Amino acid sequence: MSFIAVTYGYNMFSIFNLNSSTQPLIDNIVINCFDDLISNLQKRLDLHAKEIENLNQEETNLRKQITKLEEDKVKEEAKIEEQKRIEEEQRKKDEKDKKKPANPPPAKSSYILNSRG
């Protein structure tokens, strides 16, 4: 008995018996090779579909994280602006207080004591 090994695709091969006429042998080789190729491609397609699904889910999670971080950033910026506004109001109030004398000077009295008597 004689056999042949047919290689096709990436790391794919089949072994066929040569004890048949040429036309059925060629048909058998073509059919088996294509079936193997199609099943291999289907497995890879399924693998890629799962990978795409996982990547889409990861992208969704990352977008949620980005949205949350952006919201936190906006809140933090608003907090900082409020703090700056309060500090500015306090600074203006302090400036006003500095302009006002703390203790008014005593009124001059017209009554002067004579130490002589």
pLDDT digits (tens, 9 = 90+) for 71-98: 999 999 999 999 999 999 998 888 877 7
Residue 10: predicted pLDDT: 76
13-25 mean pLDDT:
78
Under 8 Å CB-to-CB from 20, ≥6 apart: which residues?
A: 28
User: What phi, psi does 109 have (nearest 5°)?
Assistant: -95, 140
Token reading at 5: 């090994």
Could you tell me which residues are beta bridge partners of residue 3? 17
DSSP per-residue codes, 20-85: S-HHHHHHHHHHHHHHHHHHHHHHHHHHHHHHHHHHHHHHHHHHHHHHHHHHHHHHHHHHHHHHHH
106-110 mean pLDDT:
59
pTM over 0.85, yes/no: no
Under 8 Å CB-to-CB from 40, ≥6 apart: which residues?
A: 9, 12
Residue 114: predicted pLDDT: 53
Residue 108: predicted pLDDT: 62
Residue 101 has pLDDT above 70, yes or no: no
45-69 mean pLDDT:
96
Q: Which of 37, 16, 38, 11 is nearest to 26 (CA)?
A: 16
Residue 80: predicted pLDDT: 94
Residue 28 has pLDDT above 60, yes or no: yes
Q: Which alpha helices (DSSP H) does 100-109 contain, by range?
A: none
Residue 16: predicted pLDDT: 79
